[in-house]
Homo-oligomer: A and B are copies of this chain.
Amino acid sequence: MYYTRDNMAGLLRGHDINPTHQRIEIAHALFSRQEHLSADQVMAFVNTRHSETSKATVYNTLKLFLEKGLVREVIVDPSKVFFDPNTTPHHHIYEVDSGKLSDIDAEHVHISGLPPLPDNMVTEGIDLIVRVRRKA
């Protein structure tokens, strides 16, 4: 299953997103790499070839993708947000020194003993982050 630019239009439509030129480029940047990218990185990738996409559009589009459930937000670095094209249930390992972020499949991870929520609340998601450091 490859993520070519051509596939992107369908992917976007499937998530109720009007596939414009810029949106396809941004989706392609994320999905073809299958990596966690910051808005800055997305902008850099999208603008390497030749086409120019503005900062505002990158931010707007990432927010749109988020709302439509196409990508996920990963908040581990105090200075920037990462966007994750993997929306299947999974957790993260964050290497503190380098900022490297990798996935842990949620399938084998089990979390028990969480207290019940108040009636008027719903869980939006559970983020589990294992912060690791290189041994001294």
Contacts and interface: CB of A to CB of B under 8 A. Distances in A.
Number of identical monomers bound together in the oligomeric complex: 2
A73 interface: yes
Interface in A100-136: 104, 108-115, 117, 119-135
Contacts of A124: 96, 131-133
Contacts of A114: 104, 109, 130
A75 interface: yes
Contacts of A110: 110-113
Contacts of A111: 109-111, 128
Most buried by B among A78, A81, A119: A78
Contact-residue bracket for chain A: 35 or more
Contact of A75 (B76, B120, B133): B76
A20 to B, nearest CB: 25
B122 A135 contact: yes
Contact of A135 (B93, B120, B129): B120
Interface string A57-85: 00000000000000001011110010000
B121 A131 contact: no
